Amino acid sequence: MTWLITGGAGYIGAHVTRAMAAAGKSVVALDDLSAGVPERLPADVPLVRGSTLDGDLLTRVVAEHGVTGVVHLAARKQVAESVAEPTRYYRENVGGLATLLDAVAAAGVRRLVFSSSAAVYGDPEVGLITEDTPCAPVNPYGETKLAGEWLVRAAGAAHGISTVCLRYFNVAGAAAPELADTGVFNIVPMVFDRLTRDEAPRIFGDDYPTPDGTCVRDYIHVADLAEAHLEAARRLDAGEVAGDLTLNIGRGEGVSVRELITVIGEVTGDRRPPLVEGRRPGDAPRAVASAERAAEALGWRARRGVREMVASAWEGWRLHHAG
């Protein structure tokens, strides 16, 4: 049994690829390398360069590698960019998924793990977000992830594909320095980038209805996230998932942006106070997961804390930005 991992050379994708390969699963990665880095992958994992919008390529890859399951991570994922370029996000995130599902269904592949997001929930006024919390995304990125879930479930029902949708909360950290996030889009590398350039970190809005006025998020170590994918694949391979399953992947603990910057200052030794700027479009005040259903369905819980996320990410940042 071989698993195709789309976006497999990306930050999250490479962690998933390595975790699954280390567990003895046969894997093949597909990535257009717009954000992926081939060197992140183990030497014995095949890498196919290409897009999920290329149906002919997907058909060939599935056939040539004997693919029996798919982990679909390839997508654009920046909130502000999605607000500025909504048609691009729908085309690549939803259109690419539809093309992939056509190839999967035609080849008789019956297992799929879909990379979703807490952005599907929008701005719910609840202490902990459960999988039953109504979905009301507040930006095009979240809309495309929710539409993706709908599409996955519909295709699964139509073609007998067992599916697991994993709703990620905020991902940080690195399992090894060489796997660290090299993009400057998520909050931890964004702060690192500012400090490296001898500039103060930025906070986008301190007037949210939260204890310290900054956004509150549930941060999860990328290695924990990779283990959740591995457990989902194992359950699908074992036939323990019938139909569709949707799970939050988080720690169940909220950390504000200001608190996170404090931890970053402690880890890096650069404790300069942050600059406060205006809110970014599309940011929700609070998003913290209830991950109990993932524990019940997969036997999975996050094991790593925020300080470990920051310390491992900092080690990777220094490797990639030496000098």
CB neighbour list of residue 22: distance below 8 Å, 6 or more residues apart? none
User: Is the separation of the CB atoms in 165 and 121 below 8 Å?
Assistant: no
Q: How far apart are the first and last CA of the chain?
A: 44
Angle in degrees, CA 120, 70, 146, rounded to 5: 15
| Site of tokens 């590698």 | 65
Q: What is the DSSP annotation of 193-245? A: HHHHTT---EEE-S-SSSTTSS-EE-EEEHHHHHHHHHHHHHHHHTT---SEE
CA torsion, ordered 97, 293, 21, 93, to nearest 10 deg: 20
Structure token digits, residue 223:
């290695």
Neighbouring CB atoms inside 10 A of 223's CB total 21
CB neighbour list of residue 91: distance below 8 Å, 6 or more residues apart? 53
The one catalytic residue among 11, 121, 141, 219: 141
**Catalytic residue check, 141:** yes
Nearest in space to 229 (alpha carbons), one of 308, 171, 310: 171
185: left (phi over 0), alpha (psi -120 to 50) or beta: alpha
| H or E, element range at 89 | helix 86-89
User: Is the separation of the CB atoms in 43 and 51 below 8 Å?
Assistant: no
Maximal C-alpha separation, the chain: 56
Cα distances (Å, whole numbers) of residue 31 to 5, 63, 127, 165, 261: 9, 17, 37, 20, 32
Enumerate the active-site residues. 141
